[in-house]
A and B are shown apart, each in its own frame.
Chain A
Amino acid sequence: MTDPTPVVVPPPRPGLRVALVKPDFGVSGGFERVVDRVERALRADGHEVTRRTVDLPALPRRAFGVDVSEAAWAQAPEFFRYAAAVDAFSGEDLSRFDAVVSTQPPSFAAPHPHHLSLFFHHHRVFYDLEDLYVEAGFASDPDLHREAARRVRELDAPHLDDVAWYAAGSETVRRRLGRFNGMDRVSLFHAGLGVGRSPGDPAVRPGPEAPATPADAPARTGAVLCVGRLEFPKRTELLVAALHRLPGVAGVIVGTGGRHDWIRAVDRHLGAPGVDLDAVDERRLWCSTGLLDPDDPLGVASPTTGARSNITLAGAVDDATLSHLYATAPCVVAPAHDEDYGLTAIEAMAHGAPVIVCTDGGGLADLVTHEVDGLVVEPTGAAIATAVERVLTDRDLAAGLAEGGRRRADATTWRRADAQLRVALALALEHEAVHA
């Protein structure tokens, strides 16, 4: 790969004082690695970077001068927590900095005339996931949730207007910014790999990435792999449904989350003797709260006997183990709905594993070209099972997809992401926010 040197937008001069603004959710995941990498890239370009974080769990139950009672807070916790965070970020004094780079929402509310937002998503339950959130039953009061969603969008609007430039995490996110906010000051920022392809995890190290596949790569005799948080709407349930159609095929699901017990119960439910997989309402499996309810009409929580399973819930694994699973998986399935980006797919491609995603996978579907560097199928267990079977039985197809995937992954480097970041920062410096 050659260095994608910008030819139109000159990079910003070195020596800028940059505030990297981020909410602290009290967890450390893939996005935190991305932010770490961004900080290193900014420093490598000669800028002085200061982290400014807002500890969200520590915020009081108070927003814009309004004290919210515990009982009222419990009725719409997502709204009040979010409003309190917007209040906190919008009150930040960042005037001493030359530029601000914000990260997760609502850090875009931090005021600064030269504000670059690394925008990976809105607060999705109030935007693109509003309907699914209600359909799944997460909103105890759907009317209140919809009203809160309307209010959040109003609340966000002026702050989003104030951002000088956006670097969207994917085409999907760029489309959402246009759809919800009419935003056109948007370029792209495709993060590189989260899981290193060589010892030492180059994902957080500057410099060229390691080759995708070492010469002594193990054979792809492992289990069909799925990596991601066990949360709504990752739709891990669809992979479970697919693998029960392929009882001779082993599957491993890596990740933790609030739906762990639910997914295990779904696995038992679908593995019970006599279950007609064609008659299962798969949408109800994944579009639900994931809480085990004995009165659940699907009967997922009901006791079963004689259930068979070909699926291992591996929980959290370290990078070395995950790399090994990627490197030995005959294919990686990413069934999530409307993902912001799809880092899992890129990581799988980098490890030479054919990727299977769904047509409504958002950023995942953006990354994969059907039958070129992966398979894009309908979001059903049957369709995913057929795709897995194709990859397992058609060696030429699998080899072709693996090769295509490697090429795609090779193009998604941190070096390229650094160039995208430079361009976006230069544009943010060139623009002065409307409300400055």
Chain B
Amino acid sequence: MPADDHRSPDPARDEAARLVGEVADRAEAAAERTDRPPLGRAARAAIDDARGHLDAASRSAGAGTEIPSEARLRQLKQAALVGMRPVTSYQVPFNRDVLAALDRVVTVVEDLASRAEGFDDGLDNQVHRLQAALATLDLQVGDLDADAHDVAGTVDSLVEAVEAIRREQATHGRALAELRSRVDATLRATREAAAAAAAGPGRTTTASADRAAEDAGRPSVTGRPVDPALVRRLADGGRPLELAEWAEVLLPVVEAAAALGPVLDLESGRGEWLGAWVAAGLDATGADDDPEHRAELTDRGLDVVPAAPLAALVQAAAAAPPADRGSADATGHGGNRLGAVTAAVLADVIELDELVAVVDAAREALAPGGALVLASASPRGRRRGDVQWVDPRRRPVDARLLTALALDRGFAEADVIDLGGDTGRSGGGKPRAHALVARVAGGA
């Protein structure tokens, strides 16, 4: 509110304003009384002493030119003094000049001393600021330390939570794979039952039997399905005795991949490859949906799960955490993922769409750097009477098809290894075969 010059006189207000000033002045005076002199005690004493001497000297500056009025024989002394005036007349201005000069020196010294004090104060202020900063910093360091602990705790909690989610996901994945297996089995059984019902009592059929007939160029002219037991017997007949030898050729590849994780051998059959991997000390498991094969393998002490190739791979992928895909852990090990997927008789006895699905599932199940190893009969042996072609399911699969397929489905490398065999045109001799070795990206 601006001052109102026309405001009516208010004695209480005026008195209050006066007393505010008086109280403040007295407070200021009281504070000044307790004020320390601007200089240090010793410096102040020296300056004061110097000024005292100058005051005393100034009172005697005219000494030698005047005779005090109360002096005895003043007249005589005065006369003598007058006689000496040519000499003493210079003394007084000299004395005064010296005093003035000394006074200036004292003033300068005092000023310098004050400046020195001020410098000390300034230094003190800097020290204060530094100390305040340090005091604050001191506690902030503690705070940051505490924050770091909190963050570390939070990260630990998050890691635990992620691990729990992974475990839960793996459980769900396994359950899903089992469910798929059951659904597949149910559908297969339903199809077979339906086919059996259509064919009459005592007959069963399978899609592979039909396909075998087609592959052989002999369509099922009877319209009746082929007996699956017959197909199995024929397939067994076409199973080359050299599978164990091929395993020896492939062992270095599988052994290297097994360093990244366990080996899963698909359609283990009589266990030629599975047995070779286990005999080499590898952590290997077989998968086969034929109970007779499983019983035989189990009797030999081999570990085998009841699953068709695709189901076995889906189950294996689900058991491994998603974060493991495409990245090895610090040890170079791929966590729960597979080091190698092998199959001695698979690539050329299943339909192309199933083969594609198997290759995809293997890629998901393999650890970084892991290998897919699929053997296949060489088409060139077909005309030569290669025993492998007794298997009615067998299809000619070119080696280039296998490599092209693996690279197309996301494998980083794909090679074909010749597994040997006779090359002559005459019948008999060792069956001729090759194997796809495909690796997913990553690894050492």
- Check if A and B associate: yes
Partner-B contacts on A (CB < 8 A): 1-9, 63-66, 68-69, 71-76, 79-80, 83, 86-87, 90, 111, 134, 139, 141-144, 147-148, 151, 154-155, 158-159, 184-188, 407, 410-411, 416, 419-420, 423-424, 427, 430-431, 434-436
Known: A63-B23, A186-B132, A188-B139. A4 touches B145 (CB 8 A): yes
Contact B139 A416 (CB under 8 A): yes
- Which single member of B12, B13, B23, B125 contacts A184 (CB below 8 Å)? B125
Query: B136: which A residues are within 8 A, CB to CB?
Result: 187-188
B76 adjacent to chain A (CB < 8 Å): no
Chain A residue nearest in CB terms to B18: A72
Decide if A184 touches B146 in the complex (CB within 8 Å).
no
Contact B139 A420 (CB under 8 A): yes
- Whether A71 and B12, one on each chain, are in contact in the complex, defined by CB atoms closer than 8 angstroms, is yes
Whole-angstrom CA separation of A144 from B2 in the bound complex: 11
Does chain A have a CB within 8 A of B168? no
Could you say which residues of chain A place their CB within 8 Å of the CB of B17?
75, 144, 147
Contact B1 A66 (CB under 8 A): no
Interfacial residues of chain B within 1-60, with CB under 8 A of chain A in the complex: 1-3, 11-13, 15-17, 19-24, 26-28, 30-31, 34-36
The answer to whether residues A148 and B132 also contact, given A86-B27, A411-B143, A419-B139 and a CB cut-off of 8 A, is no
Whether, in the assembled complex, B137 has its beta carbon less than 8 Å from a beta carbon of chain A, the answer is: yes
Taking a contact as CB atoms under 8 Å apart, the answer to whether A423 and B139 are in contact is: yes
Shortest Cβ gap from A113 to chain B (Å): 11
Task: Find the residue from A7, A74, A434 having the highest chain B CB count within 10 A.
Answer: A7
Contact with B138, one of A6, A111, A158 (Cβ below 8 angstroms):
A6
Residues B142 and A435 in contact, CB atoms below 8 Å apart: no
In Å, the complex CA distance between A93 and B138 comes to 34
B36 touching A434 by the CB < 8 A rule? yes
In the complex, A430 Cα to B134 Cα: how many Å?
14
Cβ–Cβ < 8 Å partners of A5 in chain B = 142
Query: For the complex, what is the distance from the CA of A68 to the CA of B23, rounded to whole Å?
Result: 9
- What's the Cα separation between A178 and B194 when bound, in Å? 94
- Is B141 at the interface (CB under 8 A from chain A)? yes
B409 in contact (CB, < 8 A)? no
- Which of these, B19, B31, B128, B146, contacts A158 with CB under 8 Å? B31
Contact (A151, B138) CB under 8 Å given A74-B12, A76-B16, A134-B1? no
For the complex formed, measure the closest distance between the CB of B27 and the CB atoms of chain A, giving whole angstroms. 5
Give every chain B residue within 8 A of A68 (Cβ-Cβ). Answer: 19, 23
B13 touches A141 (CB 8 A): yes
| Set of chain B residues within 8 Å of A184, measured between Cβ atoms | 125, 128-129, 132
Q: Which residues of B contact A (CB under 8 A)?
A: 1-3, 11-13, 15-17, 19-24, 26-28, 30-31, 34-36, 121, 125, 128-129, 131-132, 134-139, 141-143, 145-147, 149-150
**For residue B28, which residues in chain A have a CB less than 8 angstroms away from its CB?**
154-155, 158
- A185–B138 Cα distance when bound, in Å, is 15
Contact B135 A144 (CB under 8 A): no
Taking CB as reference atom, which chain A residue is nearest B142?
A4
Q: How far is the CA of A80 from the CA of B12 in the complex (A)?
A: 14
How distant is the Cα of A246 from the Cα of B164 in the complex, in angstroms?
A: 43
Q: Which residues of A contact B149 (CB under 8 A)?
A: 1-2
Known A-B contacts: A71-B11, A71-B15, A75-B17. Give 20 more (CB < 8 A).
A1-B146, A1-B149, A1-B150, A63-B27, A71-B12, A72-B19, A75-B15, A76-B20, A79-B20, A80-B20, A83-B23, A141-B13, A143-B3, A154-B24, A154-B28, A184-B128, A184-B129, A416-B142, A430-B131, A434-B121
A-B CB proximity, top 6 nearest: A4-B142, A75-B16, A187-B135, A151-B24, A64-B26, A71-B12
Using Cβ atoms and an 8 Å threshold, which residues of chain A touch B138? 6-9, 423
Measured CA separation A65–B11 after assembly (Å) = 21
Set of chain B residues within 8 Å of A186, measured between Cβ atoms: 132
Q: Which residues of A contact B35 (CB under 8 A)?
A: 158, 435
B10 to chain A, nearest CB (A): 8
Q: From A65, which residue of chain B is reached at the shortest CB distance? A: B26
CB-CB under 8 A from A87, the residues of chain B are 27
- With A8-B137, A71-B15: A64-B132 Cβ-Cβ less than 8 Å: no
Bound Cα distance from A59 to B35, whole angstroms = 26
